[in-house]
Amino acid sequence: MKNLKNSVIHWFLSAGTVFLLTAIVSISVYGQANGVKLDQPGYYRLAIGEIEVIAVSDGTLPIDLLQVLTNTTPKEVNELLADNFQSNPVAVSVNAYLIKLQDKLILVDCGAAELYGPTLGNISTSLKRAGYTPEQIDAILITHIHADHTGGLVSEGKMVFPNADIYISKGEIDFWLDPQGASKRPDLKKSFADAQAKVGPYLKAGKVKAFDSNKELFPGIKPIPSPGHTPGHTFYALENHGEKILFWGDLMHVESVQFANPSVTIAFDVDSEKAAIARKKAYHEAANEGYWVASDHISFPGIGHVKAEKKNYVWVPINYSTYSSGQ
């Protein structure tokens, strides 16, 4: 439990904010009360047109929402959690997504690896359970360079995905890989160090592909800028045979709270005001157009639809199916 406690402190500090010890104590209590380790399969398949998409789990991490959610009150958070039969702290999922595109295997984000303790770091295991190895991955689309999305790139100083090209928006690279970044934003010093440690080996190997437009990266796959959570935060849209799924990255973090109130932000946002604006815009579009969305922190597999309800929104998770037409 000490490792889990330290990992949560590490996450909070890397986001640039020092949190009260009470937040860590509540995480420890959660671990003691919920200590049964569940060996979940860690992958879920669906079809977008004729393309298979596989959600892969890096694991979950219990987070004290009262210490990380902003622009809200404890009363609102607790009431919204109760409406969803949850209580604080909440186990937050860390998801990634594998796209089987023709002769290529493309991963969207890659989890946290060892950075946040023993409950995360399962991407390689989940991939293997789904029938794939890290060495088979041809490309990784990074939504943003926070460590719970890029931590899985490197293990013990070695590239976990040695045959993959890493696609990252230019805005994200310019911010997080700026040699002077930590001096400009000392509050994010640990995050800058993590970015260098995890992306750096691929950069040195010439495997980082920067982009600064919304042109297709692969057939049917386009990046869509969505700055706010980070300066170069990016969605990825996959379209095939009239179906669409939008990979949201960190558009939102807690579905039981932020669909009911999209104005609620989180301490990890680099620009919380822009993040809230981006979230409202994305919710509105997804609800109006009815396409699939996949989110890195919605309860695994993190795939579903957004429905407008009154003045806010509701998350409708994917219906379990063993055949594509049953979705």
Amino acid 117: pLDDT = 81
pLDDT computed for residue 5 by the predictor: 42
The reported pLDDT for the residue numbered 326 is: 57
Per CATH, is 2-36+46-326 categorized as 3.30.40.10? no
Q: Are 300 and 57 in contact (CB under 8 A)?
A: yes
pLDDT at 58 over 50: yes
- Pairwise CA distance, residues 199 & 243, whole Å: 32
Whose tokens are 């500090």? That residue is 13
pLDDT of residue 325: 55
Q: Is the pLDDT of residue 211 over 60?
A: yes
At residue 213, the pLDDT reads 86
| Ranges of each domain in the chain | 2-36+46-326
179-205: average pLDDT: 91
Higher pLDDT, 88 or 26: 88
Annotate the chain with three-state secondary structure: CHHHHHHHHHHHHHCCCCCCHHHHHHHHHHHHHCCCCCCCCCEEEEEECCEEEEEEEEEEEEECHHHHEECCCHHHHHHHHHHCCCCCCEEEEEEEEEEEECCEEEEECCCCCCCCCCCCCCHHHHHHHHCCCHHHCCEEECCCCCHHHHHHHEECCEECCCCCEEEEEHHHHHHHCCCCHHHHCHHHHHHHHHHHHHHHHHHHCCCEEEECCCCCCECCEEEEECCCCCCCCEEEEEEECCEEEEEEECCCCCHHHHCCCCCCEECCCCCHHHHHHHHHHHHHHHHHHCCEEEECCCCCCCEEEEEEECCEEEEEECCCCCCHHHC
Mean pLDDT of 180-187: 90
> Which has the higher per-residue pLDDT, 204 or 34?
204
Q: Tell me the CB-side half-sphere exposure of residue 281, using CA atoms within 13 A.
A: 14
Between CA 127 and CA 145 the distance in angstroms is 21
- Confidence (pLDDT) at 306: 99
pLDDT digits (tens, 9 = 90+) for 295-327: 999 999 999 999 999 889 999 999 988 876 556
pLDDT at 25: 32
- pLDDT at residue 19 greater than cutoff 50: no
Residue 119 confidence (pLDDT): 87
- What is the structure's pLDDT at 324? 65
Q: What is the pLDDT of residue 40?
A: 80
How many C-beta neighbours within 10 Å does residue 21 have? 9
User: What local confidence, expressed as pLDDT, does residue 1 receive?
Assistant: 40
The stretch 163-177 carries a mean pLDDT of: 97
* pLDDT tops 90 at residue 118: no
Query: For the residues 263-275, what does the mean pLDDT come to?
Result: 97
pLDDT at 245 over 80: yes
Cα 87 from chain centroid (whole Å): 22
Mean pLDDT score across all residues of the chain:
89
Instruction: Give the strand pairing for 243-249 and 292-295.
Output: parallel
| Whether pLDDT at 32 is above 70 | no
What Å distances lie between residue 308 and 71, 190, 300, 316, CA to CA? 22, 38, 22, 10
Residue 294, pLDDT above cutoff 60: yes
Structure tokens at 24: 């860590």
What's the pLDDT at 41? 83
Reported pTM: 0.90
pLDDT for the residue 327: 65
